[in-house]
Amino acid sequence: MKTTTEKFGATPHQPSLWTRADALKVRADDPTTTQPLVSADFPVLNNDVFIWDTMPLRDLDGNVTSVDGWSVIFTLTADRHPNDPQYLDEDGNYDILRDWNDRHGRAKMYYWFSRTGKNWEFGGRVMAEGVSPTAREWAGTPILLNDRGEVDLYYTAVTPGATIVKVRGRVVTTEHGVSMVGFEKVKPLFEADGNMYQTEAQNAFWGFRDPWPFRDPNDGKLYMLFEGNVAGERGAHKVGEAEIGDVPPGYEDVGNSRFQTACVGIAVARDADGDDWEMLPPLLTAVGVNDQTERPHFVFQDGKYYLFTISHTFTYADGVTGPDGVYGFVADSLFGPYVPLNGSGLVLGNPSSQPFQTYSHYVMPNGLVTSFIDSVPTDETGTQIRVGGTEAPTVGMKIKGQQTFVVAEYDYGYIPPMLDVTLK
């Protein structure tokens, strides 16, 4: 198997590498890149459901958009089962942690609306049962297409397989609320090819998901980011000099890090509607560093491309580590080269005292970062926890050149619009 550089050497662009040397610079608990502690007495958006990945309605340029004064978010959502015998422990108590950990298998896309950009009101499921072709409706992006309220929802249809799909519908508003109509015909767009992006046949733990379509501010073309792993049989990847980077003496041993092969994928649309896509080589690879670069997304600021992606402690390779949170990279042009923000890539991580307090951070062009609450310790030792499944406090961040700084904290689930579209 080739190194990342050899593999993509002949392609139109070289993926940028997040190296082991970069990751060695990650410092947990740096206050400028650490999310403030989330208190265990957080409010719960809705006690009937767990919510996690949050996807604000936006336009193709990345602006969070309200319609007729209504803010709209989509969330991955699953029912809570407090009375289901399957989720009762030996003493007959609800084992919420087990219910929460099982949520991915029954994830469905729901929507919520609000007049104030917070205190979200329950909208319901986006697609009726039976519309989506697979068991799981995983993360993606709702795009407001025009002032007729048309919405393209790009998402991941998972189990069996993992396919990037889209479904078109319409957002309708009244004085009293918002509804989603249509969303009846799901169109498969593409799957991992095994040549650039790893397939399930190559690795049962492969990742291929989380589409984020956008219009490039420079060439005006329609592209899409997504999460992938670099193609190749599991265990066959090489962690060479380029993947290691410039490490100090004693840090050359890569251990079993060949099993960690995350990448940020990119595809370009062949048509204006985004029905026909061509996958391109990844923008960024993390071979030998980390196995998951999830929910990649951009902020376009100061003529630069700020690429953000979420990742976990448990997906880091041997010899490198970092907190659960959002990582970032910056380039002067779409295809790079990308350099890690803050030297290491870490942009906003959980504090080490509450390593699972939040996840699935989404950086908006106004510098606000939304995420969900996973679990927060309720005692000193961290053995007792409270499960979230609800919106975390929004964090305010400044992005300056190659650095980022935490500067503010806002209310739970605060996702204010950047634009309002009046529907015709």
Q: How far is CA 48 from the centre of its chain?
A: 24
Residue 292 assigned ligand-binding role: yes
Applying CB under 6 A, which of residues 13, 25, 27, 104 lies at the interface with ligand FRU? 104
Output the smallest distance, CB 394 to ligand FRU, in A: 17
272 CB-near residues (< 8 Å, 6+ apart): 222
53 in active site: yes
* Cβ–Cβ under 8 Å, residues 328 and 349: no
Output the smallest distance, CB 230 to ligand FRU, in A: 17
Nearest CA-CA partner of 186 in 266, 106, 126, 272: 126
Output the smallest distance, CB 275 to ligand FRU, in A: 22
Helix (H, G, I), strand (E, B) or coil at 87: helix
Q: Which of residues 363-422 bind ligand FRU (CB under 6 A)?
A: none
Nearest CA-CA partner of 166 in 222, 104, 207, 206: 222
Residue 294 assigned ligand-binding role: yes
Concatenate the DSSP letters of all residues of 11-77 into one string.
SSSPPEE--HHHHHT--TT-GGGBPPPPPTT---S-TTEEEEEEEE-B-TTS-BEEETTBEEEEEEE
d(CA 263, CA 195): 13
- Comparing CB distances to ligand FRU, the nearer of 152 and 294 is 294
- Comparing CB distances to ligand FRU, the nearer of 70 and 110 is 110
* Cβ–Cβ under 8 Å, residues 43 and 390: yes
* Cβ–Cβ under 8 Å, residues 197 and 281: no
Nearest CA-CA partner of 319 in 244, 241, 223, 399: 244
Applying CB under 6 A, which of residues 52, 111, 305, 356 lies at the interface with ligand FRU? 52
- Comparing CB distances to ligand FRU, the nearer of 66 and 311 is 311
Output the smallest distance, CB 359 to ligand FRU, in A: 6
d(CA 137, CA 135): 7
d(CA 153, CA 139): 10
Both tokens of residue 375? 């679990």
Q: Where does 269-418 have alpha helices with state H?
A: none
227 CB-near residues (< 8 Å, 6+ apart): 207, 208, 209, 210, 262, 264, 265, 292, 293, 294, 295, 296, 309
| x/- map, 132-171, ligand FRU, by CB under 6 A | ------xx----------------x---------------
Q: Which of residues 202-231 bind ligand FRU (CB under 6 A)?
A: 209-210, 227
Output the smallest distance, CB 158 to ligand FRU, in A: 8
Q: Which of residues 285-344 bind ligand FRU (CB under 6 A)?
A: 294-295
Residue 291 assigned ligand-binding role: yes
Q: Which of residues 21-50 bind ligand FRU (CB under 6 A)?
A: none
Both tokens of residue 193? 């090819």
Output the smallest distance, CB 395 to ligand FRU, in A: 17
Of the residues 99, 137, 294, 324, only one is catalytic, namely 294
- Comparing CB distances to ligand FRU, the nearer of 319 and 389 is 389
d(CA 151, CA 148): 9
275 in active site: no
- Comparing CB distances to ligand FRU, the nearer of 3 and 309 is 309
**53 interacts with ligand FRU by CB under 6 A:** yes
Both tokens of residue 263? 């990448």
**76 interacts with ligand FRU by CB under 6 A:** yes
**100 interacts with ligand FRU by CB under 6 A:** no
Count of positions on this chain that bind ligand FRU (CB under 6 A): 15
Applying CB under 6 A, which of residues 23, 64, 67, 107 lies at the interface with ligand FRU? 107
- Comparing CB distances to ligand FRU, the nearer of 239 and 373 is 373
d(CA 7, CA 419): 42
d(CA 148, CA 424): 6
Output the smallest distance, CB 174 to ligand FRU, in A: 31
**Can you say which residues are annotated as belonging to the binding site?**
139, 210, 215-216, 291-294
By annotation, the residues acting in catalysis are 53, 294
In the complex, which residues of this chain contact ligand FRU (CB under 6 A)? 52-53, 76, 104, 107, 138-139, 156, 209-210, 227, 294-295, 359-360
**Can you say which residues are annotated as belonging to the binding site for Ca(2+)?**
210, 291
**Can you say which residues are annotated as belonging to the binding site for substrate?**
139, 215-216, 292-294
